[in-house]
Amino acid sequence: MKRRSKRFIASKWSERLVPVILVILLVALLATIALIGLSVFGLLPAL
């Protein structure tokens, strides 16, 4: 049975957009963890 490619070709806008989205998500994750961490050390009200 013939297998077709699962690859895709990124459009120009997605070439820029996807990395930005991934970085934003990573920053948001780190910020969330940091806020929880600050709570641990009492710098923010506890959870």
Partner 1 sequence: MHYISIFSTLVAFAFAVAVFNRYRQRGGVHLLLWGIGLSLYGLGTLTEAVMIFTFNSLALKLWYLSGAMLTAAWLGQGTIHLLVRRGAVAPSLTVILAVVSLISLGLILAAPLTSATPSYDLSQPVSAQYKDILTRNSAIILLTILLNIYGTIALVGGAIYSAFLFWRKRVLANRLVGNILIATGALMPAMAGTFIKAGLADWLYLSEFLGVVLMYIGFLQATAPRSVIESQPSASTSTS
Residues near partner 1 (CB under 8 A)? 1-10, 18-19, 21-22, 25-26, 28-29, 32-33, 35-37, 39-40, 44-47
CB of 13 or CB of 45, closer to partner 1: 45
Say how far apart CA 37 and CA 31 lie, in whole Å: 10
CB of 5 or CB of 13, closer to partner 1: 5
Q: What is the dihedral of CA 22, 23, 26, 27, to 10 degrees?
A: -150
CB of 1 or CB of 12, closer to partner 1: 1
- Residue keyed to tokens 């780190």: 30
